[in-house]
Protein backbone atom coordinates (compact mmCIF):
# COMPACT_ATOMS: atom_id res chain seq x y z
CA UNK A 1 0.00 0.00 0.00
CA UNK A 2 1.34 3.47 -0.90
CA UNK A 3 2.76 5.51 1.95
CA UNK A 4 2.00 9.20 2.06
CA UNK A 5 5.10 11.17 3.03
CA UNK A 6 6.01 14.72 3.79
CA UNK A 7 8.34 15.31 0.85
CA UNK A 8 8.02 17.88 -1.89
CA UNK A 9 10.36 19.14 -4.53
CA UNK A 10 11.23 21.54 -7.29
CA UNK A 11 13.15 21.29 -10.52
CA UNK A 12 16.14 23.61 -10.84
CA UNK A 13 18.84 24.18 -13.45
CA UNK A 14 20.31 20.73 -14.21
CA UNK A 15 18.95 19.37 -10.97
CA UNK A 16 16.29 18.83 -8.35
CA UNK A 17 15.60 20.30 -4.93
CA UNK A 18 13.83 18.08 -2.40
CA UNK A 19 12.28 19.23 0.87
CA UNK A 20 11.75 16.72 3.67
CA UNK A 21 10.56 17.03 7.26
CA UNK A 22 13.92 18.27 8.57
CA UNK A 23 16.16 19.13 5.63
CA UNK A 24 16.33 20.59 2.15
CA UNK A 25 18.74 19.16 -0.41
CA UNK A 26 19.55 20.37 -3.90
CA UNK A 27 21.34 17.95 -6.25
CA UNK A 28 22.82 19.29 -9.49
CA UNK A 29 24.55 17.51 -12.36
CA UNK A 30 27.83 19.35 -12.97
CA UNK A 31 29.41 19.67 -16.44
CA UNK A 32 31.95 17.01 -15.37
CA UNK A 33 29.09 14.54 -14.87
CA UNK A 34 29.36 14.35 -11.09
CA UNK A 35 26.45 15.27 -8.80
CA UNK A 36 26.94 18.26 -6.52
CA UNK A 37 24.69 18.24 -3.45
CA UNK A 38 23.95 20.94 -0.92
CA UNK A 39 21.97 19.93 2.15
CA UNK A 40 20.57 22.37 4.69
CA UNK A 41 18.63 21.98 7.89
CA UNK A 42 15.03 23.12 7.50
CA UNK A 43 13.96 25.77 10.00
CA UNK A 44 10.43 27.06 9.49
CA UNK A 45 9.22 30.23 11.16
CA UNK A 46 6.11 28.27 12.17
CA UNK A 47 8.26 26.27 14.62
CA UNK A 48 8.91 29.47 16.55
CA UNK A 49 5.36 30.74 16.19
CA UNK A 50 2.99 27.74 16.36
CA UNK A 51 -0.02 29.91 15.53
CA UNK A 52 1.31 30.00 11.96
CA UNK A 53 0.53 26.27 11.70
CA UNK A 54 -3.19 27.01 11.86
CA UNK A 55 -5.32 26.50 8.73
CA UNK A 56 -5.13 29.38 6.25
CA UNK A 57 -2.02 30.86 7.90
CA UNK A 58 0.08 27.77 7.21
CA UNK A 59 -0.60 28.06 3.49
CA UNK A 60 0.72 31.63 3.31
CA UNK A 61 3.80 30.64 5.34
CA UNK A 62 4.41 27.56 3.20
CA UNK A 63 4.14 29.59 -0.01
CA UNK A 64 6.52 32.29 1.22
CA UNK A 65 9.11 29.81 2.47
CA UNK A 66 8.84 27.77 -0.72
CA UNK A 67 9.63 30.87 -2.78
CA UNK A 68 12.68 31.64 -0.64
CA UNK A 69 14.02 28.07 -0.67
CA UNK A 70 13.27 27.78 -4.38
CA UNK A 71 15.23 30.91 -5.26
CA UNK A 72 18.17 29.76 -3.15
CA UNK A 73 18.11 26.36 -4.85
CA UNK A 74 17.96 27.98 -8.29
CA UNK A 75 20.90 30.23 -7.44
CA UNK A 76 22.98 27.27 -6.23
CA UNK A 77 22.04 25.16 -9.24
CA UNK A 78 22.99 27.91 -11.72
CA UNK A 79 26.44 28.12 -10.16
CA UNK A 80 26.94 24.36 -9.83
CA UNK A 81 25.79 23.75 -13.41
CA UNK A 82 28.54 25.99 -14.71
CA UNK A 83 26.84 29.35 -15.18
CA UNK A 84 28.96 32.35 -14.28
CA UNK A 85 28.31 34.43 -11.19
CA UNK A 86 27.94 33.96 -7.46
CA UNK A 87 24.93 32.76 -5.52
CA UNK A 88 22.30 35.33 -4.71
CA UNK A 89 22.62 37.20 -1.43
CA UNK A 90 19.67 37.53 0.95
CA UNK A 91 19.10 41.05 -0.35
CA UNK A 92 19.14 39.88 -3.96
CA UNK A 93 16.70 37.08 -3.11
CA UNK A 94 14.35 39.60 -1.48
CA UNK A 95 14.58 41.89 -4.51
CA UNK A 96 13.94 38.96 -6.87
CA UNK A 97 10.86 37.96 -4.87
CA UNK A 98 9.52 41.51 -4.97
CA UNK A 99 10.10 41.72 -8.71
CA UNK A 100 8.39 38.35 -9.27
CA UNK A 101 5.45 39.39 -7.12
CA UNK A 102 5.17 42.67 -9.01
CA UNK A 103 5.24 40.87 -12.36
CA UNK A 104 2.53 38.46 -11.18
CA UNK A 105 0.37 41.39 -10.06
CA UNK A 106 0.76 43.07 -13.46
CA UNK A 107 0.03 39.91 -15.47
CA UNK A 108 -2.73 38.34 -13.40
CA UNK A 109 -4.35 41.30 -11.62
CA UNK A 110 -3.84 44.64 -13.35
CA UNK A 111 -4.05 43.53 -16.99
CA UNK A 112 -7.23 41.37 -16.72
CA UNK A 113 -8.89 43.83 -14.32
CA UNK A 114 -8.18 46.76 -16.65
CA UNK A 115 -9.18 44.81 -19.78
CA UNK A 116 -12.49 43.79 -18.23
CA UNK A 117 -13.71 47.40 -18.32
CA UNK A 118 -14.12 47.09 -22.10
CA UNK A 119 -16.95 44.58 -21.67
CA UNK A 120 -18.75 46.73 -19.10
CA UNK A 121 -21.05 48.14 -21.73
CA UNK A 122 -22.18 44.66 -22.77
CA UNK A 123 -22.50 43.18 -19.26
CA UNK A 124 -23.93 45.05 -16.29
CA UNK A 125 -24.19 42.33 -13.65
CA UNK A 126 -21.15 42.69 -11.33
CA UNK A 127 -20.82 38.96 -10.77
CA UNK A 128 -20.76 38.26 -14.50
CA UNK A 129 -18.22 41.04 -15.01
CA UNK A 130 -15.98 39.56 -12.32
CA UNK A 131 -16.35 36.11 -13.81
CA UNK A 132 -15.41 37.49 -17.23
CA UNK A 133 -12.36 39.12 -15.66
CA UNK A 134 -11.50 35.76 -14.09
CA UNK A 135 -11.78 34.14 -17.50
CA UNK A 136 -9.26 36.66 -18.87
CA UNK A 137 -6.94 35.92 -15.95
CA UNK A 138 -7.19 32.19 -16.63
CA UNK A 139 -6.49 32.72 -20.34
CA UNK A 140 -3.35 34.75 -19.55
CA UNK A 141 -2.23 32.00 -17.17
CA UNK A 142 -2.63 29.28 -19.81
CA UNK A 143 -0.86 31.36 -22.47
CA UNK A 144 2.00 32.02 -20.04
CA UNK A 145 2.40 28.33 -19.15
CA UNK A 146 2.23 27.29 -22.79
CA UNK A 147 4.69 29.99 -23.81
CA UNK A 148 7.41 29.01 -21.34
CA UNK A 149 6.85 25.32 -22.10
CA UNK A 150 8.03 26.00 -25.66
CA UNK A 151 11.39 27.40 -24.54
CA UNK A 152 14.25 24.93 -25.05
CA UNK A 153 16.08 25.67 -21.79
CA UNK A 154 12.83 25.48 -19.81
CA UNK A 155 11.96 22.15 -21.40
CA UNK A 156 15.12 20.67 -19.87
CA UNK A 157 14.09 21.99 -16.47
CA UNK A 158 10.70 20.36 -17.05
CA UNK A 159 12.50 17.03 -17.63
CA UNK A 160 13.97 17.35 -14.14
CA UNK A 161 10.46 18.27 -12.97
CA UNK A 162 9.29 14.92 -14.33
CA UNK A 163 12.19 13.15 -12.60
CA UNK A 164 11.22 14.81 -9.31
CA UNK A 165 7.60 13.62 -9.57
CA UNK A 166 8.52 10.07 -10.59
CA UNK A 167 10.97 9.74 -7.70
CA UNK A 168 8.46 11.03 -5.15
CA UNK A 169 5.84 8.61 -6.53
CA UNK A 170 8.23 5.68 -6.04
CA UNK A 171 9.06 6.80 -2.51
CA UNK A 172 5.39 7.17 -1.63
CA UNK A 173 4.83 3.66 -2.96
CA UNK A 174 7.53 2.36 -0.60
CA UNK A 175 9.81 1.07 -3.36
CA UNK A 176 13.62 1.05 -3.33
CA UNK A 177 14.85 4.16 -5.10
CA UNK A 178 16.52 3.08 -8.31
CA UNK A 179 16.01 4.01 -11.94
CA UNK A 180 14.28 0.72 -12.81
CA UNK A 181 11.63 1.20 -10.10
CA UNK A 182 11.12 4.90 -10.78
CA UNK A 183 10.97 4.87 -14.59
CA UNK A 184 7.38 3.45 -14.92
CA UNK A 185 5.76 6.09 -12.69
CA UNK A 186 3.89 9.11 -14.03
CA UNK A 187 5.46 12.54 -14.37
CA UNK A 188 2.21 13.98 -12.99
CA UNK A 189 1.61 14.47 -9.25
CA UNK A 190 -1.47 15.87 -7.44
CA UNK A 191 0.59 18.00 -5.02
CA UNK A 192 2.56 19.74 -7.77
CA UNK A 193 2.97 23.51 -7.71
CA UNK A 194 1.40 23.67 -11.17
CA UNK A 195 -1.80 22.14 -9.79
CA UNK A 196 -1.63 24.59 -6.88
CA UNK A 197 -1.46 27.55 -9.28
CA UNK A 198 -4.50 26.30 -11.16
CA UNK A 199 -6.41 25.99 -7.88
CA UNK A 200 -5.34 29.56 -7.04
CA UNK A 201 -6.82 30.73 -10.32
CA UNK A 202 -10.14 28.96 -9.73
CA UNK A 203 -10.41 30.09 -6.09
CA UNK A 204 -9.68 33.70 -7.08
CA UNK A 205 -12.38 33.63 -9.77
CA UNK A 206 -14.97 32.37 -7.29
CA UNK A 207 -13.92 34.72 -4.48
CA UNK A 208 -13.65 37.86 -6.60
CA UNK A 209 -17.05 37.24 -8.19
CA UNK A 210 -18.72 38.58 -5.03
CA UNK A 211 -16.69 41.80 -4.66
CA UNK A 212 -18.97 43.99 -6.73
CA UNK A 213 -17.71 46.34 -9.45
CA UNK A 214 -16.17 49.46 -7.84
CA UNK A 215 -13.69 51.84 -9.52
CA UNK A 216 -10.67 50.33 -11.28
CA UNK A 217 -8.11 51.01 -8.56
CA UNK A 218 -10.40 49.71 -5.83
CA UNK A 219 -10.86 46.50 -7.85
CA UNK A 220 -7.09 46.13 -8.22
CA UNK A 221 -6.40 46.85 -4.54
CA UNK A 222 -9.12 44.45 -3.38
CA UNK A 223 -7.61 41.64 -5.42
CA UNK A 224 -4.09 42.32 -4.14
CA UNK A 225 -5.34 42.51 -0.54
CA UNK A 226 -7.09 39.13 -0.88
CA UNK A 227 -4.09 37.32 -2.37
CA UNK A 228 -3.02 35.84 1.03
CA UNK A 229 -6.58 34.59 1.58
CA UNK A 230 -6.68 33.02 -1.89
CA UNK A 231 -3.30 31.36 -1.25
CA UNK A 232 -4.44 30.06 2.15
CA UNK A 233 -7.67 28.56 0.80
CA UNK A 234 -5.86 27.04 -2.20
CA UNK A 235 -3.24 25.44 0.05
CA UNK A 236 -5.92 23.81 2.19
CA UNK A 237 -7.62 22.44 -0.93
CA UNK A 238 -4.37 20.94 -2.25
CA UNK A 239 -3.54 19.57 1.19
CA UNK A 240 -6.94 17.91 1.47
CA UNK A 241 -6.84 16.56 -2.10
CA UNK A 242 -3.37 15.11 -1.58
CA UNK A 243 -4.60 13.08 1.39
CA UNK A 244 -7.99 12.07 0.01
CA UNK A 245 -8.83 8.84 -1.81
CA UNK A 246 -12.34 10.06 -2.69
CA UNK A 247 -13.13 9.52 -6.37
CA UNK A 248 -14.92 12.87 -6.72
CA UNK A 249 -11.97 14.73 -5.22
CA UNK A 250 -9.59 12.98 -7.59
CA UNK A 251 -11.89 13.86 -10.49
CA UNK A 252 -11.94 17.52 -9.45
CA UNK A 253 -8.12 17.59 -9.39
CA UNK A 254 -7.73 16.13 -12.88
CA UNK A 255 -7.35 19.54 -14.62
CA UNK A 256 -4.33 20.23 -12.40
CA UNK A 257 -2.79 16.94 -13.52
CA UNK A 258 -3.56 17.62 -17.18
CA UNK A 259 -1.87 21.02 -16.94
CA UNK A 260 1.30 19.29 -15.77
CA UNK A 261 1.57 17.75 -19.22
CA UNK A 262 2.91 21.18 -20.19
CA UNK A 263 5.26 21.59 -17.22
CA UNK A 264 6.79 18.10 -17.07
CA UNK A 265 8.70 15.98 -19.57
CA UNK A 266 9.92 12.40 -19.52
CA UNK A 267 13.38 12.48 -17.91
CA UNK A 268 16.53 10.59 -18.82
CA UNK A 269 18.06 8.01 -16.49
CA UNK A 270 20.78 10.51 -15.57
CA UNK A 271 18.15 13.02 -14.50
CA UNK A 272 16.33 10.43 -12.41
CA UNK A 273 19.65 9.64 -10.67
CA UNK A 274 19.93 13.31 -9.67
CA UNK A 275 16.39 13.29 -8.24
CA UNK A 276 17.16 10.09 -6.32
CA UNK A 277 20.25 11.67 -4.80
CA UNK A 278 18.29 14.72 -3.64
CA UNK A 279 15.49 12.65 -2.11
CA UNK A 280 17.85 10.28 -0.34
CA UNK A 281 19.40 13.26 1.43
CA UNK A 282 16.08 14.33 2.98
CA UNK A 283 14.12 11.11 3.41
CA UNK A 284 13.05 10.53 7.01
CA UNK A 285 13.81 7.30 8.82
CA UNK A 286 10.10 6.87 9.49
CA UNK A 287 7.26 7.90 7.14
CA UNK A 288 5.88 11.38 7.87
CA UNK A 289 2.36 12.71 7.44
CA UNK A 290 1.38 14.09 4.07
CA UNK A 291 1.26 17.85 3.60
Edge to edge, what strands does the sheet with 35-41 contain? Answer: 8-12, 15-19, 23-29, 35-41
pLDDT on residue 289: 42
Q: Read off the pLDDT of residues 172-201 as tens digits, 9 standing for 90 and up.
A: 999 999 999 999 999 999 888 898 999 999
**In the chain, how long is the greatest CA-to-CA distance?**
63
Is the model's pLDDT at 72 over the cut of 80? yes
Helix axes 216-225, 193-208, angle to 10 degrees: 130
Question: What is the C-alpha to C-alpha distance for residues 283 and 280, in angstroms, rounded to an integer?
Answer: 5
Nearest Cα to Cα of residue 257 among 200, 204, 213, 191:
191
| The pLDDT value given to residue 182 | 97
3-class DSSP assignment, residue 245: coil
Nearest to 96 by CA among 70, 114, 117: 70
Q: Which of 100, 122, 117, 113 is nearest to 140 (CA)?
A: 113
Over 70: is that where the pLDDT of 285 sits?
A: no
User: How many contiguous H segments (helices) and E segments (strands) does the chain have?
Assistant: 13, 4
Helices 152-172 and 126-149 pack at an angle, to 10 degrees, of 100
Strands 8-12 and 15-19: antiparallel
Structure confidence at residue 44 (pLDDT):
84
| Full-model pTM | 0.87
3-state secondary structure of 29: strand
pLDDT of 239-276, one tens digit each?
888 778 888 888 888 999 999 999 999 999 999 999 99
Poorest-pLDDT segment among 31-40, 42-51, 135-144, 211-220: 42-51
- The answer for residues whose C-beta is within 8 angstroms of residue 30's C-beta and 6 or more apart is 14, 36, 80, 81, 82
List the single range of 68-82, 200-214, 253-267 with lowest mean pLDDT: 68-82
Mean pLDDT of the chain: 88
CA 202 to chain centre: 15
Q: Is the pLDDT of residue 125 over 70?
A: yes
Residues in Cβ contact with 242 at an 8 Å cutoff, skipping those fewer than 6 apart: 4, 190, 191, 290, 291
What gap in Å lies between CA 80 and CA 255, rounded to an integer? 35
Amino acid sequence: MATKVNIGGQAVIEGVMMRGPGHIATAVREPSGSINVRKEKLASISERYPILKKPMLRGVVALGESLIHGLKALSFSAQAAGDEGEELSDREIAMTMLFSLGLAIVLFVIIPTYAAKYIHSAITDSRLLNLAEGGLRMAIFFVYIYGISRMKDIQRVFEYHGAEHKTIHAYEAGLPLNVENIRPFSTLHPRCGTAFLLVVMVVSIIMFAFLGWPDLWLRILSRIALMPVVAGVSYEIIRFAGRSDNALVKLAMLPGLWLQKLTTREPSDDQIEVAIRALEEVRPEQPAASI
